[in-house]
Amino acid sequence: MALPASSLRTALLVLLSLGLTLALGLLLPEALKLLFTFVGLACDNASHAIVLVYFIFMLCVAMPSLPRGTLPTQGKAVLITGCDSGFGLALAKHLHKLGFTVFAGCLLKDKNGEGAQELESFHSNRMKVLQLNVCSEEEVTQAVEFVKKNLENPDTGLWGLVNNAGTSTFGEVEFTSLDTYKEIAEVNLWGTIRVTKAFLPLVRQSKGRVVCMASMLGRMAVPSRSSYCISKYGVEAFSDCLRREMYRWGVKVIIIEPGNFVAATGIFTKEGVERRGQDMWEQASETVRDDYGKAYFCHQVARMKAFVTSGTKDTTPVVNVITDALTSKYPYTRYNPMDTYYWIKVQIMTHLPAAITDNIYAS
Ligand SMILES: NC(=O)c1ccc[n+]([C@@H]2O[C@H](COP(=O)([O-])OP(=O)(O)OC[C@H]3O[C@@H](n4cnc5c(N)ncnc54)[C@H](OP(=O)(O)O)[C@@H]3O)[C@@H](O)[C@H]2O)c1
């Protein structure tokens, strides 16, 4: 008779714990003693060896900014999407300052958007601004042609692709239309996939980097943000699959998971939240309006308006980790620029049982 899946899972977990305990308690000290003897060091005390292993482990985990070697930027080209504002605009300027050739994709270049104008005012042959709506197949194809034509050395390909363009909104599931879900996913998820597929041959050519902008909300799902969360969970999954596929090509795929930087970028405005609140209420069904009630709904909108001015007010931590992802010899797979409050929240939400986290956060 087949064992039920839950019993099998429990048995596997117990076996794994036992295995780990045996490995750490018996095999590791013995292996370390052997190693120490082999290299001629006097260390017959296993606890010393374990302390040493833990020390090295702590050094690696607790000090993520240990020097890992930096690659030169000269002669390297990077394409960034969504450079009209926020992280994209700041990153384009920063990478240009570091010596990269920057292809800055702007949604509003054709409409003389402020961000595009600011970047064009550099009048630098290393700052190339191009029209790029990540939802448009045509514009993405044109962008590939533009980059190919303007690469300083076409044989070296494109060093980096930063999938930064993104959009967001809020609203509980029953107030969020299917069109809204599709609109958010169209930019954040399908846009990322569309642009990545188009530029991968050029990035493979240089054994370069694909950097995908996810979010802490790509790791923890919170109320009122389902349309955004599903798009960023998708970005995480896509990037993880791609990283494993690209391993044999020498291309590194890196995920950025910023915390709350809404006050530092243009992703939310008070007016936008107000407008969206009105639309949601008007478009909700009568049943939903009656069941939730206007007072509850207004309270949620007010909370969202307060959120707009919260969080870290400076884009630097995000710009710095993307720079590390593009320039470090050994970049990390994931970067999580965020303040301590959100870091702890993410750890709690992703490590504790739902029975506990739902009690704390589903309010
Ligand atoms: N700010 C945060 O707290 C935070 C946290 C985690 C992750 N992120 C992510 O960081 C990325 C950058 O966002 P941000 O915070 O810097 O906000 P932002 O200032 O609004 O920047 C996003 C940029 O993407 C552009 N964009 C929107 N739709 C586009 C499209 N179809 N094609 C090309 N570009 C498009 C936007 O242009 P318009 O403004 O003209 O629409 C905007 O310039 C996003 O992927 C976002 O999800 C942000």
Residue 254 pairs in a beta bridge with 211
For residue 245, pLDDT over 60 is answered with yes
Give domain limits for the chain: 77-268+308-345+354-361
C-alpha–C-alpha distance, residues 335 and 162, integer Å: 14
Query: Left if phi > 0, otherwise alpha if psi is -120 to 50, otherwise beta: which for 130?
Result: beta
Q: Is 335 noted as a catalytic residue in this protein? A: no
136 lines ligand 1 (CB under 6 A): no
107 lines ligand 1 (CB under 6 A): yes
Select which of 54, 181, 228, 332 is catalytic: 228
Residue 105 pairs in a beta bridge with 130
Q: What percent of the chain has pLDDT over 90?
A: 80
Nearest atom of ligand 1 to the alpha carbon of 87: 16
Cα 90 to averaged position of ligand 1 atoms, centre (Å): 12
pLDDT digits (tens, 9 = 90+) for 2-54: 555 556 666 777 777 777 777 777 777 777 778 878 887 776 666 666 677 76
For residue 268, pLDDT over 90 is answered with yes
Q: Which residues, at least 6 apart from 80, have a Cβ–Cβ distance to it below 8 Å?
A: 88, 91, 92, 95, 102, 103, 104, 105, 162, 164
C-alpha–C-alpha distance, residues 202 and 195, integer Å: 12
Mean pLDDT of the chain: 92
For a substitution probing ligand 1, which of 80, 84, 322 has the most ligand atoms within 8 Å of its CB? 84
Query: Left if phi > 0, otherwise alpha if psi is -120 to 50, otherwise beta: which for 359?
Result: alpha
pLDDT digits (tens, 9 = 90+) for 134-183: 999 999 999 999 999 999 999 999 999 999 999 999 999 999 999 999 99
pLDDT digits (tens, 9 = 90+) for 185-211: 999 999 999 999 999 999 999 999 999
Mean pLDDT throughout 255-259?
98
- Considering only residues 9 and 110, tell me which one the structure prediction assigns the higher pLDDT: 110
Cα 151 to averaged position of ligand 1 atoms, centre (Å): 26
CA distances from 151 to 91, 154, 202 (A): 19, 5, 10
Residue 61's pLDDT band (boundaries 50, 70, 90)? low
- pTM of the prediction? 0.87
- Name the CATH code of domain 77-268+308-345+354-361 (choices 3.30.70.20, 3.40.50.720, 3.30.9.90, 3.40.50.2020): 3.40.50.720
